[in-house]
Amino acid sequence: MVKLLVIGPNGKMGKAMIHQAHLHPEMELVGGVGPEACGYSGIDLGVIAGVGENLGVVAKDNLDDIIHSCDVAVECTNVEASLAILDKCVAAAKPLVSGTTGFTAEQKTLFRMAGESIPVLLAANTSKIAHLYFRLIEWITGEIGENADIDIIEMHDRNKLDAPSGTSRQIGSIIAKGLAKNFDEIARYQRKGKGVRPPGIIDYTSIRTGNFPASHKVIFGFENEKLELTIDGYNMLPYAKGMIEAAMFLYGKKPGLYTIEQAIAPNI
């Protein structure tokens, strides 16, 4: 049994990961960790996540109190918390799966450095279906991308901190690579003002509204027609399932920075 620690158990992803871990026949939940004075320390994870039964495992508000009890830690929190968690996992020699997004290039380097000591997996999107979606975008870009106006429209709940989302940036990077261009040079965010659209760019629109989980749309526009590819996440369960599969994959691995494609793509 792989002993799993869920960091941020009261968030949308945290609750979904508890559900998925509880159902996994080879995984044992050993605890959850929230921020200091989180208000739910000591409460059973089954109650926090709404599983429908007590799981016999409670949340804590100090990572140091429980990190040595796990085989793998998983987290989808925020940039600042994630970097602090990474440091603690390195100090305790515990593998970490992070689904947090919004890191700068310099901050991502810290994960590569941590990979010299522990197994680390950093993923912007952990849904299997999303990775099939990425493959379709890659293929279409190679076939017709250079002749198209390309737009990426993404929507998440009003509390999501980063815009564009990590997934939409990943999509843009796939397209830029297919066009043999530098992503940072062709990405444009939130069109405003007057003027004809310049050729060869990726236009981004980021929507943050209500409680909508996730939606990504790529539009390839031509003079007389357009092609759209859309993926909608109805809830957080597909991403949580991928996080749990990533934790299973990381267990027992040698130190290194691994990718979600290594964990789930072979099984698509």
Q: Mean pLDDT, 10 residues at a time, over the chain (268 residues)?
A: 97 96 97 93 96 95 96 97 98 98 94 98 94 96 96 95 93 97 95 89 96 95 97 95 97 97 77
Does the annotation count 160 as an active-site position? yes
Q: What is the 3-state secondary structure (H, E, C) of the chain?
A: CEEEEEECCCCHHHHHHHHHHHHCCCEEEEEEECCCCCCCCCCEHHHHHCCCCCCCCEEECCHHHCHHHCCEEEECCCHHHHHHHHHHHHHHCCCEEECCCCCCHHHHHHHHHHCCCCEEEECCCCCHHHHHHHHHHHHHHHHHHHHCEEEEEEEECCCCCCCCCHHHHHHHHHHHHHCCCCHHHHEEECCCCCCCCCCCCEEEEEEECCCCCEEEEEEEECCCCEEEEEEEECCCHHHHHHHHHHHHHHCCCCCEEECHHHHHHHHC
User: What is the predicted pLDDT for the residue at 190?
Assistant: 87
3 part of the active site: no
Question: Which of the following is catalytic: 12, 24, 94, 156?
Answer: 156
- Which one of the listed residues 160, 194, 217, 253 is annotated catalytic? 160
Amino acid 266: pLDDT: 61
pTM strictly above 0.85: yes
